[in-house]
Amino acid sequence: MASTILATDVAAPVESSSSALNWGPIIAGAFAASTLTFILMLLGSSLGLKMVSPWSNESASVTTFAVSTAIWLVIVQWLSSGLGGYLTGRLRTKWVGIHSDETFFRDTAHGFMAWALATLLVVFVLGSTLSAAIGTGVQAASTVASGAAMGASAGATANAGNGGGSDATSYFVDALFRPTDPSRLAAPGAEGDATAAAQASRILITSAAAGEVSADDKTYLGQLVAARTGLSQADATARVDAVLAQVEAAIVQAQEAADTARKAGATFALVGALSLIIGAFIASAAAALGGKQRDDEEDALYLTASRG
């Protein structure tokens, strides 16, 4: 006779009514990580300011400063992630009736969530700071522009007569027309000197945009310098070549500085991304460690109480 199996004899799967995600420990760990990040960032700022000096040859190079900043951000990320993840694991409630593998997964997930929330908080704070810095920069630029406009208005009459050169080339133009005899500065014909300077400025501006000075322009510059400074044609040509070499050196130096800044920025971004990834791993591992220690402490306390 076949035995009859009642529905009540089959144990139905039981699912806990409580969520596996405890937001309380996650939020607490995220705030702890964000606070530690803020403190360490202040400490890093003070150390960074010591690397910068208003005196020449006493400040760290751009590469050194960028590398030091990246290393410090890595340290900040790892320490804050470890603290936040560990606190998240220790503060969560104990899960009863689940496999140890599931407990490990939940702990690591809680650590990851705490790291993600802390990262968003830090990004929000840094974003607000960056916006404030940009606003300050715009205000400063507006102030400078207003001062420049006032200065341009004050000297509009003089500049209108000679078509004064660009600020970027004024130094080189002065070098071109620096007379061998300083008394020539007060000699008649100053208007002609101003016209020659304006022409040379336009030549330099056009040549800078084109990337080179044409042979005709170079010849004409030599003739202008010879006519206005009293130099021989050969000396005037030599002066033109020397000034053009200075211009080229300044352009190359600016390009090198831009390339250095680009490489430093790329390195900083790469190191920052790797640091965030490792920070997520550290937060997850620290949460698993903190959760295991919390369960071990509670089990030990339960055994002690039961034996008593």
Q: Is 288 exposed, middle or buried (0-12, 13-18, 19+ CB in 10 A)?
A: buried
Helix then strand then coil, % of the chain, to nearest 5: 80, 0, 20
pLDDT at 151: 45
Q: What is the DSSP letter of 1?
A: -
pTM: 0.59
Stretch (H or E) spanning 272: helix 233-307
Query: Read out DSSP for 70-110?
Result: HHHHHHHHHHHHHHHHHHHHHHSPPP-SS-HHHHHHHHHHH
pLDDT at 236: 87
pLDDT at 59: 59
pLDDT at 12: 47
pLDDT at 2: 45
pLDDT at 137: 47
pLDDT at 39: 87
pLDDT at 156: 38
pLDDT at 33: 93
Mean pLDDT by 10 residues, the chain (308 residues): 47 58 91 90 72 56 69 87 94 83 91 93 72 49 46 41 52 68 53 73 78 82 81 87 86 84 78 87 94 83 74
